[in-house]
């Protein structure tokens, strides 16, 4: 099948790693390139053969999943990450988002949710387990006004960041504004540059800080 979304697994638990590989094989539009057991190995393999999406265990021996995401994002800013975790605390959630993750799923979730997350982040969206999404919404729904940094953005860039904050993915933003998806990506890159942040999640957070 053409245009398969390529995925790499970073997971130190052998049983879960094998399970994830088997699960991914059942999706016709997703291909698992390889799996590694540590952040250090992930740095070497992913820099040599980057996928579209990385499924990253948050708690790894040595370099943590969050540290690995932050380091890889500096070298491969377009690479998408979904954190797989048994943890539900807000500190880890927002640390992962700040590092550059676009999704945060509980390991016990159903395969369909994992497939949906991979497809969503690949198309420019974000994906969270239901209870985690609720925490994100609660965080961003506290009364806030756009920060002074927003003055750096053009009217079109403001439209894009407001739609991002509302949960729209790139394709939906493109359709809504009557522009191409790649144009949306360019706007997001310009927004990140102007606001001096690493990714769209940080851009939204800074917009309302």
pLDDT at 28 over 80: yes
Where is average pLDDT lowest: 30-39, 81-90, 145-154? 145-154
Choose between 22 and 144: higher pLDDT: 22
Q: Tell me whether the CATH fold assigned to 5-138 matches the one assigned to 148-207.
A: no
209 vs 8, residue with greater confidence: 8
Instruction: Please give the class, per CATH, of domain 148-207.
Output: mainly alpha
> What global pTM score does this model have?
0.66
CATH of the domain spanning 5-138, picked from 1.10.645.10, 3.40.50.2300, 1.10.260.40, 3.30.300.340:
3.40.50.2300
Dihedral angle computed from the Cα positions of residues 76, 85, 35 and 119, in that order, rounded to the nearest 10 degrees: -60
pLDDT above 60 for 113: yes
pLDDT-derived band at 151, boundaries 50, 70, 90: confident
Q: Is the per-residue pLDDT at 137 higher than 60?
A: no
Distances in Å between the alpha carbon of 9 and those of 19, 71, 188, 200? 11, 16, 27, 23
pLDDT band at 1 (very low <50, low <70, confident <90, very high): very low
Weakest-pLDDT range from 50-54, 64-68, 165-169: 165-169
Domain boundaries, the chain: 5-138, 148-207
Instruction: Please state the separation of Cα 8 from the chain's center in Å.
Output: 14
* Number of neighbours of residue 185 by Cβ within 10 angstroms: 16
Q: What is the pLDDT of residue 50?
A: 96
| pLDDT over 50 at 209, yes or no | yes
Residue with tokens 């990140």: 192
Question: Between 141 and 171, whose confidence is greater?
Answer: 171
Burial 38-64 (b: 16+ CB within 10 A, else e): bbebbbebbeeebbbbbbbbbebeebb
């Amino acid at each position: 099948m053409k245009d398969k979304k390529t995925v790499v697994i970073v997971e130190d638990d052998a049983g879960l790693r094998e399970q994830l590989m088997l699960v991914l094989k059942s999706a016709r539009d997703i291909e698992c390139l390889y799996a590694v057991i540590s952040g250090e190995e992930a740095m070497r393999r992913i820099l040599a053969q980057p996928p579209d999406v990385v499924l990253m265990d948050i708690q790894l021996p040595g370099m943590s999943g969050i540290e690995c995401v932050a380091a890889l994002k500096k070298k491969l800013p377009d690479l998408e990450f979904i954190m797989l975790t048994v943890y539900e605390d807000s500190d880890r959630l927002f640390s992962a988002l700040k590092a550059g993750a676009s999704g945060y799923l509980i390991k016990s979730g159903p395969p369909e949710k994992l497939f949906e997350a991979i497809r969503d982040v690949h198309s420019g969206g974000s994906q969270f387990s239901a209870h985690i999404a609720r925490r994100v919404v609660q965080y961003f729904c506290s009364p806030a006004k756009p920060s002074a940094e927003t003055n750096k953005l053009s009217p079109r860039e403001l439209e894009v960041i407001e739609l991002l904050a509302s949960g729209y993915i790139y394709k939906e933003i493109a359709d809504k504004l009557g522009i191409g998806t790649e144009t949306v990506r360019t706007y997001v890159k310009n927004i990140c540059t102007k606001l001096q942040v690493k990714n769209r999640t940080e851009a939204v957070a800074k917009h309302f800080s």
